[in-house]
Amino acid sequence: MQSNYRTFVGALCCALLVLVSVPSANAQERPLCLPHANPNDWIPDSFAIQACLNTGNRVIVYPGKPGYILDRGLKLLIDYTVIESLEGKATFIADVNLGYDPLWVNHGREQMMYANASYYAIANIILDGRRYDRDPRLHCWEGSRRPANIETHGVGYIAHDIDSINAPCGSGFGVFGERFHIYNILSAYNGFDAEERVYPFYPYVNNFPLADGMTVVYCNGGKIYNITLIDNTDFDLLVGGGPNCEIRDVTITHVNKWAIGGFNVGYMDTGHYNPKTGKKWDGDHTGSKFSNIHVTSRLNMLGYGLSVSSHTFYHGNPDDVTIIDAGTFEDSSSDGAQVGLLFDGAYKGVVRNIRAQNSRGNYHGYNECRVSLNYIAGHFGKEVELQGGFTPMTIHVGDPCPK
């Protein structure tokens, strides 16, 4: 069975590479670059791996313990570059000083891996951000500029079979781009939750060591599927804007860490413009589809299970309707969150066949919110198509408790 599965996955990967124009056949023939690095010691490996990435060829890494030590973030900036492990997942582990700058010139916001090119591929790796070993005062002091373990940008790229764990704040996996494929991802245990008051003598830090599991800022024609998210502490997966994005087959679980929300269709500063309207894609998910997303939570471990809303975190006019089009959100479920399904702050969108049940709890990590309901809706336009059965309530900026 295992052999058949590997054969199937291998065939699928090759098909997808062709689909998004990554020349898989040519990649196999391109020169290999084997970093002069050892995954079985604690000597930093960033320089050797970066030298390989700078060739733009096929970079091969290998499993080992503790893994490749990153004292500087890796940057993949050349089109068609491939970095992959062929013998099981290779581990990249953050050095305790990764991103540390004594002059705070870069404010300590250095990703373990940053990619911004076209038609590249990243496969079969583990990224361990070592959140308990790195000082969040050097990474997490500014709310809007916190690092991700990995951040991918560009056109037509593939990222698959990646584990991202223990980011100190920000996100386990940041996503930007067009026509990409991201699949078979585990993002877990990223960030500190509200009960982990790290460094209380730095009170401003306490607001910012949260981390998403996956932050999809801009998704234009991209596909994200087969995603597992566990005990991340901000939103497990949220998407900010972009047309024709497909996100499906997502499992979100909260057992030991509290988070604001599970899955969110929302509003973010995408930095990209809709050529038809001349306006940014911020909060515009025209043509996008979100389906088969299933959230489960223990008591008092999750604020919102499923949400179409920006008002839980958007810092603007409290009555702004900021989501232009929420796309289609269907065939999903929430079980055990404090609020199962929230729809608030959208002009357009379709929500159907969502099952929200066993909503419970009376705890919110940042206020005294005691509301616990299966389905809440408010602040929405006439073109919204909602399934029935909601309780009419609204969310206001600065107070994420429904009223």
What are the structural domain ranges in the chain?
15-392
Per-residue pLDDT tens digits for 126-185: 999 999 888 776 667 666 667 889 999 999 999 999 999 999 888 999 999 999 999 999
Per DSSP (E only), the strands in 255-322 are 259-265, 289-297, 302-309
The architecture of the domain spanning 15-392 is 3 Solenoid (2.160)
Query: What does pTM read for this prediction?
Result: 0.89
3-class state of residue 40 by DSSP: coil
Indicate whether 394 pLDDT > 90.
no
User: Locate tokens 């500029």: which residue?
Assistant: 145
Question: Residue 156 and residue 20: Cα distance in Å, rounded?
Answer: 5
The upper half-sphere exposure of residue 396, i.e. CA atoms within 13 Å in the direction of its Cβ, equals 4
Contact between 316 and 279 under an 8 Å Cβ cutoff? The reply is: no
Confidence (pLDDT) at 202: 44
| Nearest residue to 337 via CA among 321, 323, 354 | 354
The predicted-structure confidence for 263-321, as pLDDT tens digits, reads as follows 999 998 899 999 989 999 999 999 999 999 999 999 999 999 999 987 566 555 545 55
